[in-house]
Structure 1
């Protein structure tokens, strides 16, 4: 189930309210519009899940006064301000006082949608934080495991179903597909959420190092062991132990880990005391553990003991409809991290992202988002800002509507992987009309097919 996006739109001009409402509703937002800011304020409560988009200057109230009133009535609601050029100083002052952002008029549809998506994400994260006592909140999990594809919807359901069972789990997936994100979600949405989540990467460690890291050691157990050290397994007591790249774990350590999983006790290196541990083990592998166990490269008894449940993460190239939501999310994170204003994302850039095969998966997409926000060129795939004519920056109403129509078509083609029947049904357009509009905007369905 896709989380609905609620917008409270406030502007004293009826024409603006109608045009912006239509634009946002076509984009999938649920819009409640007001020309009276006092009525809009009364509609908000401390449980509202909305984002407010309002004009800075209205006859009965200015942006700073309205912002203050919203913050007192519904402090968790993000507020975006629409400002004419002359009102930008007021909008900047409002941001200092806690407004999420401002958007300069005349409105650029791409910029409006991008910033509303970021504000909606903040609203959901605030809601998830305030409802942390409800770990199975499906709305909250959509802010953790992001994606609109059927594959990711299935993953979210599986995580919520598994989280409170307390069973050990294997997460399978290529490098960069988000295995640790899913592991953390299994912990976050379980009854163990207040206990430790302890992660260790098994790759590149010698047998002695990983044994000491996992089990800890007693003072004097080897030359440099000057004092007792608590291992990762013991640190995770009561919570979740995440073993990344478990396929790299030496066989001798696998044998000792098997005993821990079977008996839930450990012995520190150099010690004789049996220490009970209460843990859930989540292991991740980019290799086929079943095949490795068949060839003796991985202990088959450990594999079967861990593989009570398994989650299989698809590579990003197989779920390209998730690229847009992931990229917008990463751009938002990068903007907060580097303290920059959220960058405007154009439909042509989303189309460019969708054509890439993403060998580094979600991790590579995150890196591209960071470079996009910083405006730098790095190794690998780089997103180039589309070049626009000077005349296009004027954003006349007709030009905005043409651009918006192209954006809607582009995003529907991306989500449907170029399937014309799906696009026609999604947009409720006859195929003949759809083809005519695609030709008008120079869009080819083959450019959107997933290969």
Structure 2
């Protein structure tokens, strides 16, 4: 697969030829245009991952190119090439929708780096749209979303195991999506026509556990005015999901073990064994082997369930999936709340967050962003947390630049001198931090 499909627009023939040679060697597919008006007529925005355009050209400017493609496809990244004197103009362009700007003469490796980020963002948004708009029955990719090796391997395991009548133990931290994985095993297997019965073992009171799980006969106890099938029977022909199985009391584990081994249940108040055709999937956030060795979980039940064990990785081990998941959650939230999806979401910085709550925390952050309660790139943290060190350094740097610009009445030359930065570097940082209001007017001085 190509590294990215790039449209390169510059009125200088030599620059077009040099860019085409270098980018093609680097693995990109490149189309060059020396006439910006012709480029705007001929380029199909859906056929490209990024547009690179010079800012000053005869006939049409880089701003015209930006405006044209923003109207045609808002998600298509547009990068502007600028001369030194055009940097303030390029900063304004970024604030109005350009993906980035690169000052001429540019370093070829730097261009490749910026293009890689732009192409990644473009493809993430396309994948989000595909997942949202996909027609027909859902696929495994729609249920287990991600491009990381761990998730790709899990999807392969689901495809292999879904129709095999074997019990499975799912392990993973809280919030990693254990029930989503269990439902995928059910939905894409031979038992999909049957019920998927989810039981949170920590939420069922011990006093009614047997009645809930195995059912009861009429008159079995006070208040049992009619017979009732338990959850194991209700799962006939389908799947029973035992979530947080480590929370099941030891006294009940023996009875559940017998039901799983024999595939029969005996209702309370009855002596008759009732056969059940059920597949069991259990999930735990603890190490059940250690729990069984410590006597807190029955080892025989552990070995019965762990014929096949699937481990769900935390988000910290699948960071390449974070922007994609975030975008999918944001779009679903916007649809559910009846709100517009924020157009300025920057998905590229999300992988740097720690996400201790895993997918569940990421989903909450996406929903808050849609509601306008948090910045997409800076999910709200719990009280007392100041963010990672890079976050704090970035905030300090942005505040220092804004303060210096105010002190120099907006002169970037003076501000750069006071801060000990090259003017080009300062302008790049102004653009990166999106300084607006008085600061954005000041950078033109």
TM-score range (shorter-chain normalised) is 0.5 to 0.7
Where do 5+ consecutive residues of structure 2 fail to align? 5-36, 52-67, 75-95, 100-117, 399-423, 430-445
Where do 5+ consecutive residues of structure 1 fail to align? 5-11, 27-56, 58-79, 85-105, 130-139, 389-436, 443-451
For residues 302-356 of structure 1, the C-alpha deviation after alignment (integer angstroms, 9 at most, x for no partner) is 1111111010011111111110110011011111111122222533x531x2222
- Name the CA distance, whole Å, in 2 between partners of 1:365 and 1:269: 43
**Is 1:207 the equivalent of 2:199?**
no
- Aligned pairs for 1:220-235 (under 5 A) are 220-235=219-234
Deviation at 1:247, TM superposition (A): 0.4
Deviation at 1:245, TM superposition (A): 0.0
Aligned to 2:247: 248
**Is 1:24 the equivalent of 2:21?**
no
Deviation at 1:380, TM superposition (A): 3.5
Q: Contact 1:114 / 1:345 at 8 angstroms: preserved in 2?
A: no
Aligned partner of residue 190 in structure 1, secondary structure:
coil
- Name the CA distance, whole Å, in 1 between partners of 2:73 and 2:46: 17
- Name the CA distance, whole Å, in 2 between partners of 1:286 and 1:17: 55
Aligned to 1:302: 301
**Is 1:128 the equivalent of 2:129?**
no
Q: Which has the larger radius of gyration?
A: 2
Aligned to 2:289: 290
Q: Contact 1:115 / 1:342 at 8 angstroms: preserved in 2?
A: no
- Aligned pairs for 1:238-387 (under 5 A) are 238-347=237-346, 350-351=348-349, 353-376=350-373, 380=381
- Name the CA distance, whole Å, in 1 between partners of 2:97 and 2:124: 12
Aligned to 2:145: 146
Taking structure 2 as the reference length, the TM-score comes to: 0.60
- Name the CA distance, whole Å, in 2 between partners of 1:123 and 1:215: 41
Q: Contact 2:238 / 2:277 at 8 angstroms: preserved in 1?
A: yes
Aligned partner of residue 350 in structure 1, secondary structure:
coil
Deviation at 1:231, TM superposition (A): 1.2
Aligned length: 301
Q: 1:17 to 1:370 in 2, by over 3 A?
A: farther
Aligned partner of residue 127 in structure 1, secondary structure:
coil
Q: Contact 1:217 / 1:268 at 8 angstroms: preserved in 2?
A: yes
Deviation at 1:210, TM superposition (A): 2.1
- Name the CA distance, whole Å, in 1 between partners of 2:218 and 2:276: 21
Aligned partner of residue 223 in structure 1, secondary structure:
coil
Taking structure 1 as the reference length, the TM-score comes to: 0.59
Q: Contact 2:45 / 2:73 at 8 angstroms: preserved in 1?
A: no
Aligned to 2:193: 194
Q: 1:340 to 1:115 in 2, by over 3 A?
A: farther
Aligned partner of residue 375 in structure 1, secondary structure:
coil
Q: Contact 1:199 / 1:243 at 8 angstroms: preserved in 2?
A: yes
